[in-house]
Structure formats: C-alpha cells, structure tokens
C-alpha cells in the first residue's frame, strides 16, 4: 500500500483539505497523512468549506513534520512554496510532487468573504489531488503490467 504525506506550512488548511480528498478518493487504497513545517491547528473555515463538499475533516489533527521522523513515504505532496523549498531531514520519500496553492488563511476580509476564499481554494485543492491520484494510479497500473 502506498504511503502519501501532504505537507504545507502550518497543516491548518491546504494540507488538511488535501488529506481529506485523498482519503475520500483513494477509498483506503493508500495510507494518507498530512503535516506542516509547524502545527497551527485546523482552521474552522477549512472544516466548513470541506463539509459543504461532503468531506468531513473535523476529526483530523494538525501535526508538525517531526512526528513522522524516521518514516518513509512513497510520495511527498507539497501544497505551498515554503514547504517545497524546505530542507526535510525528518523523513525520506520516493517522489516529491509540488502544487503551488494559495493560502486561504492569509486572506483578509469579513466572515463570508473568508469562507468564499476557502471555497475557492478547496476547489483548487480538489482539482490538484484528483490530478495527483490519476498520475499515481497510472504509475501503479503500469508497474503492475
């Protein structure tokens, strides 16, 4: 079974959304984890935006990368530029995939405007994770042939 780690800055929004979508779309066909360079707690707007798309991430927890010290992942998926440029000593991985996704937590505005930004970013995350799954599944199918 493939092991996938999604990494971003604070493990509060983008990586949490990505973890939720990957778990949903792989249907337990892979071990999915997320972490941040730091741990900022899950943003309530991320939970709400995902809930609107029928994905429940309320039980997920924000974790720093160091909790995975010594572990190997088949794929490291970075969803922010800071994470992809960080020197990672805690883990090893087979392949790194990077998606530059804007941080919805950095958006300034009222509650409804913030939620709308999280919805917009949710759709970007969803599209990118579906693209990644298609690539990873294609590689697995070709390797098995």
Q: State the chain's mean pLDDT as an integer.
A: 92
Residue 8: CB atoms within 10 Å:
29
- Sheet holding 2-8: strands in order across? 30-36, 2-8, 72-78, 92-98
Handedness of CA 131, 134, 84, 114 (dihedral sign): positive
CATH of the domain at 129: 3.40.50.2300
Percent of the chain scoring above 90 in pLDDT: 82
H or E segment and range at residue 15: helix 14-26
Of 118, 61, 126, 67, the closest CA to residue 91 belongs to 67
Q: Using the structure block, give the residue that is written with the tokens 């509060």.
A: 12
Residue numbers of the domain that contains 92: 2-144
What is the count of structural domains for the chain?
1
46 pLDDT above the threshold of 90: yes
| Token reading at 52 | 């609107």
Q: What is the pLDDT of residue 33?
A: 98
Stretch 103-117: mean pLDDT: 96
């Amino acid at each position: 079974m493939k092991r996938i780690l999604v990494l971003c800055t604070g493990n509060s929004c983008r990586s949490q959304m990505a973890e939720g979508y990957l778990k949903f779309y792989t249907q337990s066909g892979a071990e999915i984890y997320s972490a941040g360079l730091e741990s900022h707690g899950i943003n309530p707007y991320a939970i709400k935006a995902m809930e609107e798309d029928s994905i429940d991430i309320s039980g997920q927890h924000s974790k720093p990368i160091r909790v995975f010290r010594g572990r190997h992942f088949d794929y490291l998926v970075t969803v922010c530029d800071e994470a992809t440029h960080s020197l990672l000593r805690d883990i090893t991985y087979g392949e790194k995939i990077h998606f530059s996704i804007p941080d919805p937590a950095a958006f300034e505005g009222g509650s409804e405007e913030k939620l709308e930004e999280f919805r917009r970013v949710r759709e970007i995350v969803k599209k990118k994770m579906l693209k990644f799954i298609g690539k990873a599944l294609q590689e697995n199918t070709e390797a098995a042939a």
